[in-house]
Chain A
Amino acid sequence: KQEVTQIPAALSVPEGENLVLNCSFTDSAIYNLQWFRQDPGKGLTSLLLIQSSQREQTSGRLNASLDKSSGRSTLYIAASQPGDSATYLCAGLNNNAGNMLTFGGGTRLMVKP
């Protein structure tokens, strides 16, 4: 059974800093990995989806990488802003899990002005 872990659970950084959020998974038979953002009281917003055949995806100041062999994905946020404050979740879709995503517990990010 796939297990997805995100460490740390919470992170506080000053505005302007570049940062990396980590996501690790136990089963390398991963079909794709998705990063989401969740603001308090809201649903999840899809940020980036990396297919198993890809190594990374970029959108604006965000860059996500996927390394199946090591069971890791990272989300890089460049030049962080207070508006980036939110909880970031990663989720993996496995080849042998029907259509079920397995979510990590999330990293709560606070960017201080």
Chain B
Amino acid sequence: DAGITQSPRHKVTETGTPVTLRCHQTENHRYMYWYRQDPGHGLRLIHYSYGVKDTDKGEVSDGYSVSRSKTEDFLLTLESATSSQTSVYFCAISGIGNSPLHFGNGTRLTVT
């Protein structure tokens, strides 16, 4: 498996609280991504990063922010969690050019 660690693996939080999910890679890959996976919607891109401090929005970025201060870490923050953000969140990484995407094992987030 590619060296990708997501933390926490599971989290339950209340509506309105801030939540930060962490993705850590040991592959020194340039690109990092946050996806959410929901029944009926499949995998959707939230934000991605193409370098330290370089990020861009994906398809479903509202309500989420990201930061990448080091090559190996990509943080996803829900400023004020809502029930619609209950989902499984996946981090992914890829190198430059035609490199395959490699995924972490996911974080299951429940917002009550």
- Give A contacts to B, CB under 8 Å: 31-32, 34, 36, 41-46, 49, 51, 89, 91, 98-101, 103-106
**Could you write out 21 A-B pairs with CB less than 8 Å apart?**
A34-B100, A34-B101, A42-B105, A42-B106, A43-B104, A43-B105, A44-B92, A44-B101, A46-B100, A46-B101, A46-B102, A49-B100, A91-B43, A98-B48, A99-B31, A99-B33, A99-B48, A100-B48, A100-B58, A104-B42, A105-B42
Query: Which residues of A lie under 8 Å from residue B94 when comparing CB positions?
Result: 99
Assess whether B58 is in contact with A89, with CB atoms less than 8 Å apart.
Answer: no
Complex Cα spacing A17 to B84, Å: 41
Cβ of B74 within 8 Å of any chain A Cβ, yes or no, is: no
- Give B contacts to A, CB under 8 Å: 4, 31, 33, 42-45, 48, 50, 56, 58-59, 90, 92, 94, 98, 100-106
Assess whether A100 is in contact with B98, with CB atoms less than 8 Å apart.
Answer: no
The answer to whether residues A103 and B58 also contact, given A43-B106, A46-B100, A49-B100 and a CB cut-off of 8 A, is: no
Complex Cα spacing A32 to B48, Å: 18
Interface SS of B by simple majority: strand
Assess whether B98 is in contact with A99, with CB atoms less than 8 Å apart.
Answer: no
Query: Which residues of A lie under 8 Å from residue B58 when comparing CB positions?
Result: 100
Assess whether B100 is in contact with A103, with CB atoms less than 8 Å apart.
Answer: no
Count A/B pairs, Cβ under 8 Å: 51
Assess whether B106 is in contact with A101, with CB atoms less than 8 Å apart.
Answer: no
Query: Which residues of A lie under 8 Å from residue B45 when comparing CB positions?
Result: 100-101
Minimum-distance CB pairs A-B, first 3: A43-B103, A46-B100, A103-B43
Query: Which of B90, B98, B104 has the most chain A CB atoms inside 10 A of its CB?
Result: B98
Query: Which residues of A lie under 8 Å from residue B90 when comparing CB positions?
Result: 43-44
Query: Which residues of A lie under 8 Å from residue B43 when comparing CB positions?
Result: 44, 89, 91, 103
Complex Cα spacing A53 to B76, Å: 35
